[in-house]
Structures are given as C-alpha cells and as structure tokens.
Amino acid sequence: MVLKSGPAKAERNWQLLRTVLFLGFAAWFVYDGAVRYPAQNRREAEQQLAAPEPFGGRLQYADLGEPPTKQDYQRVVDAKPTTAEQVHELLGKPQYVRTEGAGRAIEFFVGQYGYVAVPVDNGRVNAASIVFKPWKRDKSIVQQQYYWAIVPLIPGLYFLWRTYKAATLRVTIDDEGMVYDGQRIAFADMVSLRDYSPKGWIDLYYRVGEREKRLRLDNEKVLRFDEIVDAICKAKGFRNEVREYAEEKARQKAEEEAAAAAEDAERKDAGGDPR
C-alpha cells in the first residue's frame, strides 16, 4: 500500500497572502527611500532654485553634492563658530553668496537635501542666526525608510519560509508507516490518533525514544487528509473520528431533510401551502 499526498491550497494561500502583505510593506518603505523621497526632494529643490529669491536660477540641482544635511548643520551650530572661515572649515566653500550691503552677506551652502544659510557681517558670524532649510525631507528621514523596512521584512521572510514549507509539503503512507514532510513515523511507534476538531484537524501521538510527541494532521495543509487518517486507522486499528463525525453530520442532515419532507407532506394533506 502506498498513498501519496501533496499540500492543500488553503495553508499555502494563507501564508502567501501574509508574505505578500509584509514584503509589500517592506518594499514600499524601500521605494520611498530609494525613489519617491529623492524625487520629491529634487522637484522641490528645482522649484526653489529657479525662484527669484534667494537663488534666482544661479544653481542647478544636478551640480549639487549631498551635503549639507541637518546633521551637518547641527555640527556647525554645536561648534559655535564666530567667523566665516570657521564655518568654511566645517562646510567647505559656499555654493552661492548674496550680498546684503556694506560688509554684510548671506552665504548659502546648498546640497541635495537642503541648504544652510549663514549671515556674515564683516567676516563675523553669529551661530544663533544660522538656519537649515530642507527641500522636502532631510537625509535622516530618507534613511529612516530603510530602517522601517526591516520591521515588516523580518516577518515577511518568515512567512515566505512558511509559504515554501506549505507548498512543498509531501505525505506518504506505505506498509511501514508514514513520511510527513521528510520525517518518518513507523506504524509501530504510533500510539493514538485522537482529539479531532470539526475545524479540520486531528492529532497523531507517537513515540520517539522514551518520549511521546504529537503531530497535527490538518486538512488545510494536507490535500488527502481524510484518506491519510483512514489509512492510519486501518493499519493501527484506531478509531476514525474523522469518519465518525462525517457520518454523524450526514445522518443529521438526512434526518433534517426527512423531517422537512414529512412537514411538507402534512401541509399538503391539510391543503396548506407547502412553502
């Protein structure tokens, strides 16, 4: 006797749904960090660079480097510079300088994430007056999307593994016992098959050395569930709770149908409406 079964669709489809859901969220966060947020930054930067103030089209986004970021700005503020030269040591040379009057100017350090504006008065700088303006989202916000992606990625990979296990499940019954997902359980080691649930599972108890273990057989995981349970029960002489439940349901249904037919017949005999 050899009975072979592949996986049922229910478990595979359920695990696949969870895999798609969680990996989809992870992909969305990665897409935000790699594509959507940078594109939004670029659009906002190009609009502001082309506006009359403060840049007036003098700078092109394609020519900008990555810094400065808000972190670069914070480093400057924390250093409390008092001269323009000290600012240049931290941020490099400004990309644009707008003259404000005799000895006064605003130096702009412009990058792909925003710009730092540093008012300069006769070479002197007041750290409190230095400001940072991001185009749309600072680099830290963009990078956070990759960290957020890890949150759904971990369960997504776990459910991907569960999907693989569900899709590759194989069960074989032969003359010596059962092979379930690569694990052989000999008939001689099977202790009982019990605790059937109408939801569609039953537990097989078997010996492993001095211990007793349990394997749950589930009709949402195994395609030929009824046949496998029947084969084990016949080989071991176990009570077949699955068949008993099915027979009881069939008996109840037959009794209900018979009772309904008798009631209809009585109504017809009485001249009533059988409906």
Q: Look at residue 272 in the predicted model and tell me its pLDDT.
A: 54
270 versus 13: the higher-pLDDT residue is 13
Residue 249 has pLDDT above 70, yes or no: yes
Average pLDDT over residues 106-111: 98
> What's the Cα-to-Cα distance from 66 to each of 41, 44, 63, 109, 137, rounded to whole Å?
12, 15, 10, 11, 13
pLDDT over 70 at 151, yes or no: yes
Secondary structure class of 125 (helix, strand, coil): strand
Contact 274, 268 (CB under 8 A): yes
What dotted CATH number matches 53-137?
3.30.1450.10
Instruction: Please give the pLDDT value at position 174.
Output: 97
SS3 assignment, position 189: helix
SS3 171: strand
Q: What is the mean pLDDT of residues 224-228?
A: 97
**Does 271 score more than 70 pLDDT?**
no
pTM: predicted TM-score of the whole model, two decimal places: 0.81
Q: Which amino acid appears at position 153 of this protein?
A: L
Fold of the domain built from segment(s) 171-265: PH-domain like (2.30.29)
pLDDT band at 273 (very low <50, low <70, confident <90, very high): low
Query: pLDDT by residue (tens digit) across 127-139?
Result: 999 999 999 999 9
> Cα separation of 230 and 193, whole Å?
10
Rounded to the nearest integer, the mean pLDDT of the chain is 95
Averaged over 102-120, what is the pLDDT?
96
Q: How far apart are CA 2 and CA 109, in angstroms?
A: 77
Mean pLDDT, range 74-89, rounded to an integer: 96
Write down the domain spans for the chain. 53-137, 171-265
Tell me the pLDDT band of 263, cut-offs 50, 70 and 90: confident
Please spell the DSSP secondary structure of 32-64, one letter per residue. IIIIIHHHHHHHHHHHHHHSTTTTTT---GGG-
Q: pLDDT of 2-52, one tens digit each?
A: 999 999 999 999 999 999 999 999 999 999 999 999 999 999 999 999 999
Note the pLDDT of residue 147. Answer: 97
Whether the pLDDT of residue 275 is over 60: the answer is no
> Do the domains 171-265 and 53-137 match in fold?
no
Percent of the chain with pLDDT over 70: 98
pLDDT of 257 reads 86
| Res. 274: pLDDT tops 60 | no
What is the Cα–Cα distance from 17 to 240, expressed in whole angstroms? Answer: 33
Question: Cα-flanking dihedrals φ and ψ of residue 255, to 5°?
Answer: -65, -40
Say which range, 190-194, 239-243, 269-273, has the weakest mean pLDDT.
Answer: 269-273
Say how far apart CA 26 and CA 84 lie, in whole Å.
44
Residues 6+ apart with CB under 8 A from 119: 100, 104, 105, 106, 125, 126, 129, 130
**What kind and span of H or E run contains 202?**
strand 201-208
Q: Which residue, chain included where needed, has tokens 């109840």?
A: 252
d(C-alpha 37, C-alpha 136), whole Å: 8
